[in-house]
Amino acid sequence: MTNPRQLAFIALRDVHKGAYADVALDRVLQKVNLPDNDRRLVTELIYGSVRRQRTLDTLIDQFAKKKSHQQPQDLRTILHLGFYQLRYQERIPASAAVNTTVQLAKENGFSGLTGFVNGLLRQYLREAGEQGGRGAEEKNSLLLPQSPVPSPQSPVHHFDPLQLPENPVERLGILHSFPDWIIQVWLEQLDFEETEQLCEWMNQSPTIDLRINPLRTSIEEVEAALQSVSILVKRIPHLPQALRFIGNTGSIQKLPGFKEGWWTIQDSSAQLVSHLLDPQSGEVIIDVCAAPGGKTTHIAELMADKGKIWACDRTSSRLRKLQENSQRLNLQSIQMYTGDSRQFNQFQNTADRVLLDAPCSGLGTMHRHADARWRQTPESVRELSVLQKELLTHTSTFVKPGGVLVYATCTLHPAENEEVISAFLAESPDWQIESPAGFELPEFVRSTPQGWFKVWPHEQDMDGFFIVRLRKTNNSE
């Protein structure tokens, strides 16, 4: 079976039963040998339908007699695929989107409901006007419930059929498909317009960045090697090891320089973290939540692979990934340690620097994890903040007097960031935030008056991150 839409349906059925979207996608793609175009379509349909779930459910609620949650789950999934193509896929003709969705219903136990599926999708098209209201959510005015949507192909105005409530939180949540609580967290930190820009950014397909290994190669050499196979990359200002892929790459592992350890995949925001840690040759560094090891290997590169890095993680299977990467990059200074860092007592006062890249809700990287917005809850954030505080309190004892600890997360939730640090500093008089002065950090990194750093994705076009550098005073016990 090589029908991309049927494959997407099978994967989405697994997602609705609890599977992670990326795992479900891998599972269906491994069973078939699809051309690149079809693989991309399957990927887009799965990730897009998961990301836009709330908007798609709202359309079902609006056009069907039964609400989305009352529909048979498989039929709801088929309708998601149909509405997703009509609303967000400009390259797919409306007729093809409707006909293939009707065919999906016929082939998956709903042959008696093909008229219903056909009628529902065609009603959406009728209300949108002949162009189908594509991209409508980007133009749907936040002031008017029914605003004209100019079509790129025609001067005639078309309307977005999606009806939105007046409440600003629900309005943004339905339009951009986020739970209300996440919209609320952002609105407490950003104004309305910026929150919408952040929502739009999080719904884009993610870019892929790489980090060159200066111990094996140069950025010029990697650029030339990739150009030789027609892969385009661009440099990222202020990050000396970073390149960003432009366009499709095919299989990452087959690209020149990968097997040779010339480079590894790492988002530019994550690269900032190790630069802020600023490890020096010959030091003892402890990375307390190391797997899968992107930052650990970066630390080794910045230290010229001289010194000792203890890479700790609870999960040995995830540490194996770190081991594979350090071998490929030919790094010798990293030693693995399996276990919960909150239980370790052997590292007290041994480290020049500690990196705590804390487990978090990942609200800064939701574009990479299509289902993260539906998996996290206010309760899971509360539980994570407790874990983060425990990790910070205990692993800070690993640092020698005068040493440094960098706390980092890829979330944009104050309960996991500012509040964790404020609580720690209130209980730890021998610690203080290290002023950013003197660090060659990119100008765009937003440093707050308190001294922590925040990367906002819609401003910098990279993953959302929170980073703070802490110094243990020399007179600490």
Per-residue CA distances from 36 to 4, 25, 89, 92, 248 (Å):
11, 14, 17, 17, 10
Domain shared by 227 and 287, yes or no: no
Q: What is the mean pLDDT of residues 275-289?
A: 95
Averaged over 347-374, what is the pLDDT?
Answer: 95
Query: Residue 383 and residue 376: Cα distance in Å, rounded?
Result: 11
Residue 24 lies in a domain: no
Look at residues 130, 155, 154, 157 and name the one whose alpha carbon lies nearest to residue 146: 157
**For the stretch 277-309, what's the b/e string if a residue is b when 16 or more beta carbons lie within 10 angstroms of its beta carbon?**
bbbeeebbbbbbbbbbbbbbbbbbbbbebebbb
- CATH number of the domain residue 238 falls in: 3.30.70.1170
* One-letter amino acid for residue 290 of the chain: A
336 and 454 in a single domain? The answer is yes
Query: In the block, which residue shows the tokens 């111990």?
Result: 215
| Cis ω for the linkage preceding 429 (within 30 of 0) | no
What is the per-residue pLDDT for 159?
Answer: 80
- C-alpha dihedral, 86 to 87 to 93 to 96, nearest 10°: -20
Are residues 387 and 336 located together in one domain of the fold? yes
Orientation of helix 418-427 relative to helix 378-395, angle to 10°: 40
Assess if residue 423 is contained within a domain. Answer: yes
For 394-436, the pLDDT digits (tens) are: 999 999 999 999 999 999 999 999 999 999 999 999 999 986 5
DSSP-derived letter for residue 220 is H
332 and 434 together in one domain: yes
Last residue of a domain, one of 241, 265, 289: 265
Whether residues 245 and 121 share a domain: the answer is no
Given this model, what pLDDT does residue 36 score?
85
Query: From the CB of residue 340, how many other CB atoms can be counted at a distance below 10 Å?
Result: 14
Q: Per-residue pLDDT for 344 more than 70?
A: yes
Dist. CA 291–CA 313, nearest whole Å: 6
Is the same domain home to 375 and 444? yes
Same domain (yes/no): 281, 346: yes
Catalytic residue among 199, 289, 312, 410: 410
Residue 8 in domain? no
Give the domain extent around 310: 268-472
Q: Give the mean pLDDT of 24-52.
A: 94
For residue 202, is it within any domain? no
3-state DSSP call for residue 357?
strand
Residues 134, 237, single domain; the answer is no
Distance between CA atoms of residues 366 and 464, nearest Å: 9
**Residue 360 catalytic?**
no
Cα-only R_g, the chain: 24
In-domain check, residue 171: no
Residue corresponding to tokens 């290997």:
297
Shared domain for 224 and 278, answered yes or no, is: no
Does residue 183 lie in a domain region? no
Contact 5, 45 (CB under 8 A): yes
| 436 or 105, higher pLDDT | 105
Q: In terms of domains, do 241 and 276 share one?
A: no
In a domain, 114, yes or no: yes
* Total domains, the chain: 3
Band (pLDDT 50/70/90 cuts) for residue 138 is very low
Q: Looking at the structure, tell me whether residues 277 and 260 fall in a common domain.
A: no
- Reported as a single tens digit per residue, the pLDDT across 148-183 is 333 333 333 358 899 999 999 999 999 999 999 999
Q: Is residue 201 part of a domain?
A: no
CATH of the domain at 142: 1.10.940.10
Q: Are 286 and 337 in contact, with CB atoms under 8 Å apart?
A: no
Query: Which of 235, 265, 295 is the last residue in one of the domains?
Result: 265
> What is the enclosing helix (H) or strand (E) of 310?
strand 308-313
Residues 256-272 pLDDT 10s: 999 999 999 999 999 99
Same domain, 333 and 359: yes
pLDDT of res. 436: 55
Q: Check which CATH number belongs to the domain holding 424 and give it.
A: 3.40.50.150
